[in-house]
Structure formats: structure tokens, C-alpha cells
Amino acid sequence: MKKFMNNAEEMLNESLKGFGIANADLVKVYENPHFVVRLDAPVLGKVTLISGGGSGHEPLHIGYVGYGMLDAACPGEIFTSPTPDQILAAVRTATGGAGILFIVKNYAGDRMNFEMAAEMAMIEHAFMVPSDEVVTGDAAPKIPGRGMAGTVIIEKIVGAAAEAGFDLAACRKLGERANGAMRSMGVALTSCVPPAVGRPISTIGDDELELGVGIHGEPGRMRLKMMDADDLVRQMIDSIADDLSLKPGETILLYVNGLGGTPLIELYLIYNVAAKFCRDRRLKIVRSLVGNYTTSLEMAGCSITVCRLDDEFIRFWDHPVHTASLRWAR
């Protein structure tokens, strides 16, 4: 295992310190317990958005704390749920008095710990659970699917709505509507090596790929022989489009997310192939996102997300955002 670190136990702490110093104009990083809040927190009168989950998926979620997106993020140890005391501390620091929406990807441990913290906080709150993984097809996993890269889109859209004054119930409803409007599917070419484990958590052969992989390197649906990008992406777009029941003429956001170890030149190639198959289905791509937004340490691989768009989604997607890893003012 070769990683830039001093020791595995302190890796997350040292990395979060660096994140805090590098982004001191946007966020404040707390220790003991760890959480990240936007610099101007609490934003009074605004619904407070809090997310979190295991680390190792950077920039998710810490990179999305700031104006127009999250108020706070709770990073657990690598691939480990944040603890209730982390979440509770974030709640107490970030709450703006208009209720808290917890955005918690669909993993049992994350949900349990966030629910425990929410109960302890005794504060008005609601849950929104991203579960954007494709769940139909030949080898369907559990329903609903796992939370994947689409979580970034949900956090962006709901973040803009909260900034625009939506109340807690409306933020939650919008997030659930966005979650229902998208599907994601992942593919891995290599495993990743969690520092505390010190060895690959799965083995993918030199001529193999793992289709339908989760963002922690969990086994996917199918171990297949390595194939051309055209053949691979066709399967992924077919699965996504079928699961979403996409119709010709519909308007979409097309999002290719790198899992960490795949260079941008390959991600843009995947995007090109995906765009071709979307156009073959007469889908109108009106927004795009390509890059490493939800990773799995240094895993080589990517995911494709398609989100059906309407005017409300487009308006909130385009809304200004000012975070470490998503930033624009269109």
C-alpha cells in the first residue's frame, strides 16, 4: 500500500485539517468530534441541510458545504458511518431555527446513526434518503437502491431551494422528487485500498470489470470481461433509461462521475459515448457534469447518472453555488 500519509489512524484528521485551511474562506472544520460547517453558519431562518457518511468519497460531502448547498457535513472514518455525537454537534452548531433536513445516503449504518442523533437533538427535522442506484434488470439488488453519485445533484438542487426560502417540508419533497427522477450505475476496473485495511477490498482481474459496483467497492451485479467503452456504456444507459422509463423528447442532465483513479480524458470519452446513446433515444441533454464528484478512494472506475429535468430542477441546478468542489454563478 502506497499512500501519501503519516499513519492510517491520523489520515482522516490530517486531511480534514488541510481541507479546512485550504478552504478557510468557505468552511470551518471542527475536531473532537469532526464536522464541517459553512463559515456563515448558522444561517438563521433557512432550512438547515446536513449530510454525511463514511469518508473516502471526497469531495462528497465536505466539498459541498457552503452557500447554495450544505450547511454542514459529518465525515465518518473511511467507509464508516459518522457517529451520533458528530451529527449532534453539527446540528447544534449549524441549526438556523427553520428545521433540519438530513440528507443521508441509503446505507443502514448511516441511517441508524443519523436517526439516533436526530432523536437526541429534539429539534424539528426530516429525512431525505438518496437511493439513486438502478434497481431493476437481470440481477436486481435490494430495493430501494444504494445512494450513489446522484446525491450531489440532490444536495445541489435542495441546497438552492433552501437558499430560496423553501420550508422543511418543501425541501424534503423536492429532494425526494429529484431522487425519483434520477438513476445511477457504476463500473469499477480496480479495487481500492482503505488505509486501515492495507490491501484491496476486492480483486478484479486484469481483464475484468465489475458492473453495478457501489461507492465503497461493494460487489456489483456482474463480473464481466473487459470490453470497449461503447459496449459498456450501452449496457449502462439501457439499464438507467429502462429503470427511469425515459421517453423520447425528455430533457435530462447527464453526469459522468469518476471514482477516483480514472483520468478526466477517459471520463470525457465515457460522457461522449453516453451522450451518443442518449441522443439515439432522442433525449435532450441540457445540463452536464463530468469529473470526480463522488469517489471511492483511488478506485479506477466511473458511474453514469441521468436525471430527468423540469424547469424547477433546472432553475435550482443553475442557482449560484459556492463550495470547495462545486462553484459557479451562471
Torsion of CA 7, 10, 11, 15, to 10 degrees: -140
Minimum Å gap between C-beta 58 and a copy of itself is 4
Binding site for a copy of itself (CB under 8 A): 2-7, 11-12, 14-19, 21-23, 55-56, 58-59, 63, 78, 189-190, 206-207, 209, 226, 228-230, 232, 254, 260-273, 275, 285, 288-292, 295, 297-298, 300, 302, 322, 325, 327-329
Listed residue (104, 98, 100) closest to 90, CA to CA: 100
Minimum Å gap between C-beta 54 and a copy of itself is 11
Helix (H) or strand (E) holding 11: helix 11-22
Alpha-carbon gap, residue 229 to 250, rounded angstroms: 24
Minimum Å gap between C-beta 213 and a copy of itself is 14
Any catalytic annotation for residue 322? no
Contact 212, 220 (CB under 8 A): yes
AA letter at 275:
A
- Supply 300's cell numbers: 479506477
Minimum Å gap between C-beta 265 and a copy of itself is 5
Residue where the block lists cell 489512524:
9
Listed residue (200, 177, 186, 161) closest to 236, CA to CA: 186
| Catalytic member of 34, 61, 216, 319 | 216
Of residues 77 and 176, the one with the C-beta less far from a copy of itself: 77
Listed residue (184, 40, 26) closest to 106, CA to CA: 184
- Return phi, psi of residue 260, to 5°: 130, -50
Of residues 69 and 273, the one with the C-beta less far from a copy of itself: 273
Of residues 3 and 282, the one with the C-beta less far from a copy of itself: 3
Of residues 115 and 318, the one with the C-beta less far from a copy of itself: 318
| Catalytic member of 34, 57, 125, 319 | 57
Minimum Å gap between C-beta 55 and a copy of itself is 7
Of residues 113 and 295, the one with the C-beta less far from a copy of itself: 295
Any catalytic annotation for residue 61? no
Tell me the catalytic residues: 57, 216
